[in-house]
Amino acid sequence: MKRTLLAAALTGAFAVTAHAQSSVTLYGLIDTSLVYANNEGGHRNWLQSSSSTQNTVFGLRGTEDLGGGLHAVFKLEQGFNLNNGTEAFPGDGFGSQAWVGLQHDRYGTLTFGRQFDVFNDMVGPLTSGFNTWGGSIAAHPFENDNLAADSVVPNNVVKYASPTLYGVTFEAMYAFSNKAGGFADNRSYGFGASYSQGPFNVAAGYLQFNNAGGGVAATNPNGAVSAGDGSANFVAERQRIWGAGGSYTFGPATVGVVWSHTQIDNMSSVLSLGLGSDLPLGGTLRLDNYEANARYTITPAWSVSAAYTFTDGAYDDGTTGSSPKWHTAMLQTDYMLSKRTDLYLEGVYQHVHGGPAGSVLSDAMINTLSPSSTGTQVAVIAGLRHQF
């Protein structure tokens, strides 16, 4: 009897210890807003929108201490549209993120599954489109460089992230096509690095998609970058992205600059988040994005931010060439009601000229909105965000 009681006591003690060394957290972010657009398809529009600046998500993240500095880690995250309750990635149970891995305090982290790419991880935090003080609606045209908060989330990813050593962090990834006999058919790979020391931050990286969305021939639409759930910003034979940026903080102000270059070969379509569908676009497209941004904290609760991006393009459909150019400007003010809830007011302006007439390259299209019927589009957003 005493042995039975002792065994029960020890079992209970071990269960408590194991529980203390493991944790699972429910978390989320809700972003809702009222949006005025001066031109969507030739008409003014007032709409109630979800995820204008940040993805609206809920998820579970967890860690287990395996001893010796080693931890098992995971994240399961689902994006959704607050205004109607639908999935952000149709058909995906955890479309925003779904991964598991091992993390070592000394040797870094190795993760497997659906997760953000390394270029977004490293360079994204230096852009306005990635952050709450600008967000998705302030992204570069067509979200061409995958740096905004709503960037492409590849499938089948193996990613390594180094520990931070003397301010330096390095990441590398490979996303498998998962197709028998088609190892390179809809795969992705990339690498990036960042350096942070005091008020100074710099980062650079490279990312490549091969046959994203299955490519023009739709040979493998559910590989690394899926076409079925709306993950592919461009369906193309190849998309290559590289870039770098930096920021500096002095007192209540932070200023930053980012450059990115995107090359897209043999396209068939480009995604319009506002329409929720792809728009036809063939040929090749080269884009250089030059962004300057700034944020100023007036009080601990109140801040203002601004960004301007000039995008220089070169387009060729095999018969004619053109040089479209975009000017995108953003201005936001944000007020924190608490540590988890804030209100924001944001304006975004975009103007494009020089694109081929009648194509998506000749009409302005602010990210998350439907395209304008002209080369100019203006949006004003009043929003509420809550984190839990």
**pLDDT tens column, 348-360:** 999 999 999 999 9
> For residue 15, what pLDDT is reported?
40
Provide the domain count of the chain: 1
> For residue 141, what pLDDT is reported?
97
> For residue 230, what pLDDT is reported?
83
Residue type at 103 in one-letter notation: Q
Please check whether residue 89 lies inside any domain of the structure: no
Domain that holds residue 299: 45-56+105-387
Q: What is the mean pLDDT of residues 229-258?
A: 96
Write the pLDDT tens digit of every residue in 248-262. 999 999 999 999 999
Write the pLDDT tens digit of every residue in 182-214. 999 999 999 999 999 999 999 999 999 999 999
> For residue 10, what pLDDT is reported?
36
> For residue 21, what pLDDT is reported?
83
Please check whether residue 328 lies inside any domain of the structure: yes
For residues 112 and 11, the model is more confident at: 112
Write the pLDDT tens digit of every residue in 49-104. 999 999 999 999 999 999 999 999 999 999 999 999 999 988 888 999 999 999 99
Please check whether residue 15 lies inside any domain of the structure: no
Q: Is the pLDDT of residue 18 over 70?
A: no
- Calpha distance 249→181 (Å, rounded): 50
> For residue 229, what pLDDT is reported?
86
Q: What is the mean pLDDT of residues 151-157?
A: 95
The alpha helices in 229-369, defined as continuous H runs, are none
**Domain holding 114: CATH number?**
2.40.160.10
Write the pLDDT tens digit of every residue in 217-232. 999 999 999 988 889 9
Please check whether residue 172 lies inside any domain of the structure: yes
Please check whether residue 150 lies inside any domain of the structure: yes
343-346's contacts with Cβ under 8 Å and 24+ in sequence apart are 343/382, 343/383, 343/384, 343/385, 344/53, 344/132, 344/381, 344/382, 344/383, 344/384, 344/385, 345/380, 345/381, 345/382, 345/383, 346/52, 346/53, 346/134, 346/135, 346/137, 346/138, 346/380, 346/381, 346/383
Q: Is the pLDDT of residue 8 over 60?
A: no
The two counts, helices (H) then strands (E), for the chain are 2, 18
Mean of all residue pLDDT scores within the chain: 93
Residues 6+ apart with CB under 8 A from 184: 177, 210, 211
Q: Is the pLDDT of residue 12 over 90?
A: no
Residues 6+ apart with CB under 8 A from 268: 215, 216, 235, 236, 280, 281, 282
Please check whether residue 20 lies inside any domain of the structure: no
Please check whether residue 34 lies inside any domain of the structure: no
Please check whether residue 329 lies inside any domain of the structure: yes
Question: Residue 359: helix, strand or coil by DSSP?
Answer: coil
